[in-house]
Structure formats: C-alpha cells, structure tokens
C-alpha cells in the first residue's frame, strides 16, 4: 500500500549537538529541527516509497517528557492514522523514555492497520559517526513496509515491539533490547526481515477509548517505589500524605517485598490507593500469587506498569463519571 510517511519530531539525542566537534557525550539534545534531520539523509526519499512529510512537535531531551507532550503526540498520531493518504508514522524520540512513550502509544492508539515507528540515537548528530541517520532511514523503511503494523521501535538495525523494548545500556549503540522476547525483526541492506519469517500481529490497544480524551482528563498521580535491602515505608507514607492515587512497587525477584515496605503498601490499599507490583528483574515474568492483595504488572517493567496503572485509573474515573 503506497502513501505518505509522516515523521513527527520530538527532539532527543538524534537531534542533539555537541560543542566539541565529533564528541559522543557532553551534548545538548533536541537542537536540530526535523526538516534538517530529514534533509541530511537523501536516501529517505527512496525508502519512503512515496511522499515524506515532517512535523515538529517538540525539541526536548526525552528525560523531560511530560503529559502535555504525550497528549499532543497522541492527538497528532490519531489525525494521521485516520488519514487514508498516510501509510505510516515515524517518531524521532530520545532513548531515555522511548520505552514509556512506546507503551503509552500502544495502549491507546488504533494502530492495527498502520505502523507507528519510534526511532532514536545514542550519539548526537554532530558525532564523528552518528547513529541517528541510519536509524532514521531504517525507521522509514519499516514504516513504509506493506506488512508493518502497530507501535514499533527501531534502532541499531533491530525492530522491537512496544511491550518488550527497554533501554538496557547507558552508552552503547545497541542500548535498546527486547530481553527474553528478542527483536521482532531486523533491517539488513535496506530490507526488513521479520525474525520468524512473518510479520507479528499488532496488539489491540487496551485503552483506545481514552486516546481522543487524554487532554480533557486529569492524569492520576502514580509513583514508583522500590523494594531493596533495608527498605521501609517512609516514601509510601509521604506519598499517601501527598495524595497519591496509585503506587507501583518495583519488587525483588518474583514479586517479593521487604516486610516494612509491604506493610506500608497494605496501608495504601486500605486507604483506597491502587497498588500494582512489577519486578525489578529485566528478564522473565513474575508468577502472580493466589489471593494477592494487589494487582501484578503481567510482565511489564515498573515504568510501563506505571503507565498502565495511570490509564486504568483514568478509565475507571471516566466510567464513574458516565462519560
């Protein structure tokens, strides 16, 4: 299916510049506009298989991602996904919170028929050998592929799913991984190759009804606390006093919690605060305990579990209001 590829720019290292020529670190993210990024990669015209359109949404370091930009990003994605002339979307993004944005988009966007591809870089555009141009070319290649669907992430020649992708290294070019699941595919010599010989089925968004309403709904305050040796409930009690509405506990191992922290979480539940437990372990999936006092993250990392809990609370609030 031919059509336009729309590239939405949000900043990130891929658009970063360093004062020292050729430096890989010590740069400022989000300095180069999306039009200039595209112009620097002439091969994009062929990879897009049609018109290539750019739209600048923000120019930030993704460590500073916030709800307002998420709302705008979702809104623009909805507009372009509904456009029959658009084949797919590419989003340039910083690596630090890419996995969170990917999971939010996968949770709300109706992207079962078109791809929404996030891409990034570990080196700024002014590095001696920047990785952004290749990642951008690969992302456009995936977005233009006739079998690509759903929310995906592309970096260092690999294609990852929104549920599995995570940043596992602070500096290497292959910082993004999919842990146990492995990548969904790879881009080799300009061609997309699916890992299992066929395109994966895109996930259905759990909260599609919220997509068009994020800007009109208040984001619930959901915090992450970590269980560790010597943990206590001080942070939990402070969060309760501050009016937190949800807590994700990053647990040890198979969902185990320090007894002092566990007692604090029990007080939170008794006070009407939603508690969800995720594992600190980057590999594997916890087994939910029968009769548990709280919900489990179903294999999501703590940061993705937080997004899931926020959306669940927003949906519950919308139902309670009858809207």
The residues annotated with a catalytic role in the active site are: 13
Pairing outcome for strands 115-119 and 27-28: unpaired
Angle (CA) 201-160-23 rounded to 5° is 160
Q: Which residues contact 196 (CB under 8 A, 6 or more apart)?
A: none
**What's the rounded Cα separation, in Å, for the pair 173 and 194?**
21
Asked if 18 and 26 touch (Cβ cutoff 8 Å), the reply is yes
């Amino acid at each position: 299916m031919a059509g336009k590829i729309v590239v939405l720019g949000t900043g990130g290292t891929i658009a970063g510049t360093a004062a020292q020529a050729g430096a890989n670190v010590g740069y400022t993210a989000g300095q180069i506009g999306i039009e200039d990024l595209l112009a620097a990669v002439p091969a994009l015209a062929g990879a897009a298989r049609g018109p290539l359109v750019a739209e600048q949404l923000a120019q930030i370091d993704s460590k500073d991602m916030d709800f307002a930009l998420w709302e705008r990003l979702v809104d623009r994605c909805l507009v372009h996904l509904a456009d029959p002339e658009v084949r797919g979307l590419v989003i340039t993004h910083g690596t630090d919170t890419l996995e969170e944005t990917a999971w939010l988009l996968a949770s709300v966007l109706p992207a079962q028929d078109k791809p929404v591809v996030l891409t990034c870089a570990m080196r700024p555009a002014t590095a001696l050998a920047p990785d952004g141009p290749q990642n951008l070319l690969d992302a456009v290649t995936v977005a233009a592929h006739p079998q690509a669907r759903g929310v995906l992430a592309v970096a260092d020649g690999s294609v990852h799913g929104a549920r599995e992708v995570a940043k596992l290294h602070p500096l290497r070019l292959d910082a993004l991984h999919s842990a146990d699941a492995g990548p969904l595919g790879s881009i080799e010599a300009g061609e997309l190759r699916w890992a299992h010989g066929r395109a994966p089925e895109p996930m259905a968004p759990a909260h599609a009804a919220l997509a068009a309403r994020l800007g009109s709904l208040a984001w619930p305050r959901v915090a992450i606390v970590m269980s560790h040796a010597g943990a206590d409930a001080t942070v939990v009690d402070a969060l309760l006093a501050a009016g937190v509405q949800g807590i994700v506990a990053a647990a040890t191992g198979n969902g185990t919690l320090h007894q002092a922290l566990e007692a604090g979480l029990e007080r939170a539940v008794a006070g009407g605060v939603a508690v969800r437990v995720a594992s600190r372990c980057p590999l594997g999936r916890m087994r939910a305990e029968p009769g548990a006092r709280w919900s489990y993250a179903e294999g999501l990392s703590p940061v993705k579990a937080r997004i899931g809990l926020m959306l669940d609370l927003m949906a519950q609030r919308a139902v309670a209001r009858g809207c």
